[in-house]
Structure 1
Amino acid sequence: MVVDTHPFDSSIILRVKGPLEFKCLFDKTDALNIQKVISKTFEALCCSIKSESCVFTLCDGPVVIWPNKDVHISPEDITPNTPCQELSQWTKISEQESLHKKSTKKKTKKCSGNTVVNLQLMMETTRPGAPHSAQVPVFTQTVQTSHFGSMTLPIDCAVCVSLGETIQNACLHLVEELSNQINEMKRVTLQHLKGTSILVPEPLHFLLPHPHGLVTVVYPAGVLDSQLQTARQALHQKYDLPNDTPYFRRANAYHFPNEPYRDGYLRNPHLWLTHPTLENGKVYLVQGLYSYHHYMQDRIDDNGWGCAYRSLQTICSWFQQQGYVDRSVPSHKEIQQALVDVGDKQASFVGSRQWIGSIEVQAVLNELLGVTSKILFVSQGSELASKGRELASHFITEGTPVMIGGGVLAHTILGVAWSETTGEIRYLILDPHYTGAEDLQLITEKGWCGWKGPEFWDQTAYYNLCLPQRPKVI
């Protein structure tokens, strides 16, 4: 079966996050002196990461680890030779998470993915056993003219280790990666330095194709992706990646499975479904992330007329979340205005409740996103059963959601299960006509996102399928 597999199914991610305070004084403001002071400050932070004062604490758990103190660990039940997978057992699961798991446990297949153990980076300010006098603060006053530089470094380090890896070995790996990240932050900071103005270096994680896995890249905060193309090109060369697909735009950053999405939309509900079994059949799916857009969201009552708009929004979210475009998902009015701008509709169309179809979806994608689309015409619904090869080819080569419109209905096709020998076919449908809350269990159990047979389509109605094409960009 041609399906996405997660590279971390037999491993665990240890993620360390925490602020490091970057503070330095510039006695002189010439470029050479500023660079020297910044370099020394980063080097001091790197030394602190390797010192005995460095501490990892388990988020929502009682475990405290001193990675450079012969891997001293508290509580005593855990030893340096304890497998990393046991750390997750010490994490306290919130009551809300427990209730969610209980409600979705019954019939919903859990989405495949890896375990993430979150650790907090902390630094001890005093050392146990130090003389009492050493802990007494001493104040001195020096009068001089200088510039003070200060920022908070958002340390975010993630390493993937096997489930059986010992905590001791994993901590050695983490300390090494933390040191590498600080050195990379130094390089990026110096590269984008303008006088005494310092840009905060921002670490981002990207999941690359096999064999690379999860890699971390540091970008200067506030610098647009369009201004970082040279850096991205260098990364593509470093990891031997094609230059026609964006891998290192901020929108491509890896989303850790234990982090919620702030916008409230569900992502990829199809991953919770069981694939249909067909004789000699294969499954061909949408590639990457999308948001589920449907009736009644965004405080807009579009019940009965907005299904194609919602399908278009789902497609736009795919291009946004794969890093092909920077713009947000367009609203109904923005979609209507785009059709007016290209001359397809009259000005009175903006603010109306009029339907749109596949041809309009194609026009809007081109106008707002610069995305071209192919249109597949089907004279009657019964012919859709013979379009397995075309749809399979689309999901292999392009991997984008497909909008299908016929009569007064529009749906989103996320994949097909198709047998080349028997011709049997099933369609993975994301239905924009849903009007309820973002309830994953309800949506998957009631078929709002589900596998449908050829009888799902009106056998006598004509259909147009809009197949968006990937842009060839870095």
Structure 2
Amino acid sequence: LTAAIAPCALLKDVHLGLALPGRGPTRLAVVSGHYLYYHYGCDGVDDRGWGCGYRTLQTLFSWPEGRPVAVPELAAMQAALEDMGDKPPGFRGSQSWIGCVEASLCLDHFGGPQGRLRHVTRGAGLQGELERLYSHFAGGGGPVMVGGDADAQSKALLGVCLGPGTEAYVLVLDPHCWGAPKNPSELQAAGWVGWQEVSTAFDPHSFYNLCMTSCNSQEQTCALD
């Protein structure tokens, strides 16, 4: 992994200021605390085409304080996965993808927020997970990493907006942005963060894994201001 471009400043809480979707919410729950938006090339490593899972995982690591302290670099995550035996020798330095299972292992290894895995079977999309996701965010939960098989592009969920009627939206943070965004408004206008209708945002023919972050213990307090 070599630096190929200049690093850029990380933006914080990039969903703030977004208009609510549809006809307005019957129920709304969004992420508590703070996070940083990690994306392709943000640290000077050109990871286009393979690094989206690592970038989403870095966003999870930055929660709930919204600081880069203790957020591991891509090389450190690859080395950890190889050292713990999850990946074969030679994984470090590669351009191999990772998903939610690897994310939960890294969160535990590096002492990040707790990552709880949830598997969504093929054909269901995320329609059946809306109540669970709503409860997660309403209860103070952090960003949720999402990845699948037919839909293998990693992304993070930051909230759920339900109703009226059958309307249902998820707040999606997409790490595939390349460049140096100057502010959240620029990201919102380009669609890198925004509300998406759940039936079109996710492939009903793909299975999905979720990695749902929360505070490590009852004693740990999350920054909810």
Q: Which bin holds the TM-score, normalised by the shorter protein?
A: 0.7 to 0.9
Which of these two proteins has the greater Rg computed from alpha carbons?
1
Report the alpha carbon displacement of residue 387 of structure 1 after superposing the two structures with TM. Answer: 1.6
Q: Is the 8 A contact 1:404 1:411 kept in 2?
A: yes
Structure with more helix by fraction = 1
Aligned equivalents of 2:58 and 2:123: distance in 1? 24
Give 2:175's aligned amino acid: P
Aligned pair 1:373/2:118, yes or no? no
Q: 2:97 aligns with which of 355, 373, 379?
A: 355
Trace 1:13-412 onto structure 2 (pairs within 5 A). 264-278=9-23, 281-321=26-66, 327-369=69-111, 371-380=113-122, 382-407=124-149, 408-412=152-156
Report the alpha carbon displacement of residue 375 of structure 1 after superposing the two structures with TM. Answer: 1.5
Residue of structure 2 in register with 1:433 after alignment: 176
Secondary structure (helix, strand or coil) at the match of 1:392 reads helix
Aligned equivalents of 2:216 and 2:154: distance in 1? 24
Number of residues of Structure 1 aligned to a counterpart in Structure 2: 208
Distance 1:264 1:327, change over 3 A: closer
Secondary structure (helix, strand or coil) at the match of 1:302 reads coil
TM-score normalized with structure 2 length: 0.85
Distance 1:386 1:279, change over 3 A: farther
Secondary structure (helix, strand or coil) at the match of 1:387 reads helix
Aligned equivalents of 1:467 and 1:265: distance in 2? 22
Report the alpha carbon displacement of residue 457 of structure 1 after superposing the two structures with TM. Answer: 1.2
Gaps of 5+ in 1: 1-262
Q: Is the 8 A contact 1:273 1:444 kept in 2?
A: yes
Gaps of 5+ in 2: 1-7, 221-225
Secondary structure (helix, strand or coil) at the match of 1:321 reads coil
Report the alpha carbon displacement of residue 458 of structure 1 after superposing the two structures with TM. Answer: 1.6
Q: Is the 8 A contact 2:125 2:208 kept in 1?
A: no
CA displacement 1:41-98 (0-9 Å, x = unmatched): xxxxxxxxxxxxxxxxxxxxxxxxxxxxxxxxxxxxxxxxxxxxxxxxxxxxxxxxxx
Q: Which moved more, 1:363-372 or 1:349-358?
A: 363-372
Q: 1:418 aligns with which of 114, 137, 162?
A: 162
How many percent identity over aligned positions? 37
Aligned equivalents of 2:115 and 2:82: distance in 1? 19
CA RMSD of aligned residues (A): 2.0
Q: Is the 8 A contact 1:278 1:417 kept in 2?
A: no
Q: Is the 8 A contact 1:386 1:423 kept in 2?
A: no
